[in-house]
Amino acid sequence: MARTLAIEAKDLSKTFHPRKPSKGIRQTLSDLVVPRYSDIQALRGIHMTIEYGRCVGLLGANGAGKSTLVKLMCGIQTPTSGTLSVLGERPNRRSHSFLRRLGVVFGHKSSLWWDLPVADSLDAYARIYRLDRAAYRSERAQLVECLNIGHVIDKPVRVLSLGERVKSELVASLIHRPTLVFLDEPTIGLDVAARYELREYLKQRTQSGHLTSIITSHDMNDIETCCQEVVLIDGGRVLHQGSITSLKKALGTGSSISIILPDRPFTSQDGDRLRQLHAPQSMRSITLTTSGALHIVAPDHDSQQRILADVYAFYPNSSIQVSDAPLEDAILQHFLSSETPERRSRP
Ligand SMILES: Nc1ncnc2c1ncn2[C@@H]1O[C@H](COP(=O)(O)OP(=O)(O)O)[C@@H](O)[C@H]1O
Ligand SMILES: [Mg+2]
């Protein structure tokens, strides 16, 4: 394997065989003797390569297979078929050298001791990882300061707010200076301020290029802020891997048009006027902001040109800004338009 690759997956599949639930007394009794199992193909032939130093976002709807892929990459679960190399090792062997270089945050699970102060959990991790005392102290002080959790470090985890707890989890996962960190839904359930703080920290940390990070999140802002690259997973397969711009191009995001008038705010009548001229399919959305600007999302280049022609005609003095539509919009449109029977029938 080339040394520049932190992760390499070839034809990777994972099938779960959970027991089928029993209905009625007869089935319960017969299932005791001969249990019935179903097949759930969570991953179906994943091909993916991730270079060292990259921050990669794993995207996909609920049940797409993101967490399963993360669990295979951490070695928590074993692939059914295919090969997977992470940091040059097979993750499911869970060798010390592999685990020593890995950090993991599962947004909805805690790796800190509930009744202990955060500092005690961190001390315990320092011992588990056999960290040098001085290096540990300085890394801890730096992380605590950057994530602004100095005031909670001596409190038991159970009394922390969700934002404080997730930030403490992040400190625990980075304290041993891992090479690779997996963050599964790190901002789930956080309020706007905590989400912003965490995102900004991750952005700063992941852009330094010293850490390889894999982030799964439903929040496209997390991905757009922190990641240089994205992998879109759908029905257990990789639909796209590349930069956010290339994903937007592949999904046909369209463009976002922002318009401001020099002398007055836009009103709902202005919006109605434009709406009447363009069919809903050629104007994906039109919104009025509280500051009086108008935001329009056009699905393609032709619609964008037609909308701009009308805007120039009606408001010749307006200032207009055209940019790629947000990733959120592209993903939403993709999933709305590709609701296949296969996906709907998946358990
Ligand atoms: N331990 C398991 N046993 C049975 N099915 C599972 C298990 N873990 C995941 N699945 C199934 O695999 C599919 C992918 O799940 P998951 O990887 O958690 O998706 P995501 O993280 O993208 O929401 C889902 O259909 C889920 O129900
Ligand atoms: Mg998940």
2-6, 83-87, 145-149, 294-298: the lowest-pLDDT one: 2-6
Show the CA angle centred on residue 270, arms to residues 269 and 272, nearest 5°: 60
Which of the pair, 251 or 196, is modelled with greater confidence?
196
Q: Is residue 342 part of a domain?
A: no
Q: What is the pLDDT, as a whole number, of residue 224?
A: 85
Does the CA dihedral 157-158-162-163 come out positive or negative? negative
Q: Is residue 27 part of a domain?
A: no
Question: Are 221 and 179 found together in one domain?
Answer: yes
Mind listing the pLDDT tens digit for each residue in 118-133?
Answer: 999 999 999 999 999 9
Q: What is the pLDDT, as a whole number, of residue 289?
A: 86
Q: What is the pLDDT, as a whole number, of residue 339?
A: 52
Q: What is the pLDDT, as a whole number, of residue 113?
A: 94
| CA 87/CA 5 separation, integer angstroms | 8
Q: Is residue 302 part of a domain?
A: yes
Question: Are 125 and 144 found together in one domain?
Answer: yes
Q: What is the pLDDT, as a whole number, of residue 250?
A: 78
Q: What is the pLDDT, as a whole number, of residue 338?
A: 60
The distance between the two most distant Cα atoms of the chain, rounded to a whole number of Å, is 79
Q: What is the mean pLDDT of residues 195-203?
A: 82
Question: Are 263 and 199 found together in one domain?
Answer: no
Ligand 2 centroid, distance to 87 Cα (angstroms) = 22
Q: Is residue 139 part of a domain?
A: yes
Residues sharing a CB contact under 8 Å with residue 205, sequence separation 6 or more, in sequence order: 146, 174, 211, 213
Question: Are 185 and 305 found together in one domain?
Answer: no
Question: Are 227 and 258 found together in one domain?
Answer: no
Which of the pair, 218 or 164, is modelled with greater confidence?
164
Question: Are 258 and 237 found together in one domain?
Answer: no
Residue 340 pLDDT > 60 = no
- CATH number of the domain at 299, please: 3.30.70.1060
Question: Are 142 and 201 found together in one domain?
Answer: yes
Instruction: Calculate what percentage of the chain has a pLDDT beyond 90.
Output: 47
Mind listing the pLDDT tens digit for each residue in 33-57?
Answer: 888 999 999 999 999 999 998 999 9
Q: Is residue 201 part of a domain?
A: yes
Q: Which residues pair with 117 in a beta bridge?
A: 156
Q: How many domains does the chain fold into?
A: 2
Mind listing the pLDDT tens digit for each residue in 141-196?
Answer: 988 988 889 999 999 999 998 888 988 998 999 999 899 999 988 888 777 887 88
Question: Are 155 and 274 found together in one domain?
Answer: no
Q: What is the mean pLDDT of residues 59-78?
A: 92
Residue 341 pLDDT > 50 = no
Ligand 1 atom nearest to 216, measured from its CA: 21
Question: Are 241 and 268 found together in one domain?
Answer: no
Q: What is the pLDDT, as a whole number, of residue 286?
A: 87
Q: Is residue 194 part of a domain?
A: yes
pTM score, two decimals?
0.79
Q: Which residues pair with 323 in a beta bridge?
A: 256
Mean pLDDT over all residues of the chain?
87
Q: What is the pLDDT, as a whole number, of residue 300?
A: 81
Q: What is the pLDDT, as a whole number, of residue 336?
A: 64
Nearest CA to ligand 1 atom 18: 67
Question: Are 56 and 126 found together in one domain?
Answer: yes
The CA-to-CA distance between both ends of the chain, in Å, stands at 36
Pocket probe mutation, ligand 1, options 62, 67, 232, max atoms within 8 Å of Cβ: 67
95-104, 205-214, 314-323: the lowest-pLDDT one: 205-214
* C-alpha distance from residue 103 to each of 27, 31, 143, 154, 204 (Å): 44, 40, 14, 23, 17
Residues sharing a CB contact under 8 Å with residue 106, sequence separation 6 or more, in sequence order: 184, 185
> Which of 190, 220, 250 is the last residue in one of the domains?
250
Cβ of residue 60 lying under 6 Å from some atom of ligand 1 = yes
Residues, CB within 5 angstroms of ligand 2 (ion): 66-67
Residue 209 pLDDT > 80 = no
> Which of 234, 250, 266 is the last residue in one of the domains?
250
> Which of 219, 234, 250 is the last residue in one of the domains?
250
Buried b (16+ CB within 10 A) or exposed e, 6-33: bbbbeebbbeeeeeeeeeeeeeeeeeee
Question: Are 133 and 177 found together in one domain?
Answer: yes
Ligand 1 atom nearest to 14, measured from its CA: 12
Residues sharing a CB contact under 8 Å with residue 316, sequence separation 6 or more, in sequence order: none
- CATH number of the domain at 64, please: 3.40.50.300
Cβ of residue 255 lying under 6 Å from some atom of ligand 1 = no
Residue 266 pLDDT > 70 = yes
Q: What range defines the domain where residue 289 resides?
A: 254-325
Mind listing the pLDDT tens digit for each residue in 94-113?
Answer: 999 999 999 998 877 788 99
Taking Cα atoms as reference points, which of 173, 70, 163, 161 lies closest to residue 112? 173
Question: Are 267 and 200 found together in one domain?
Answer: no
| CA 109/CA 185 separation, integer angstroms | 10
Does the CA dihedral 204-207-208-213 come out positive or negative? positive
Q: Which residues pair with 16 in a beta bridge?
A: 40
Q: Residues for the chain: how many in total? A: 347
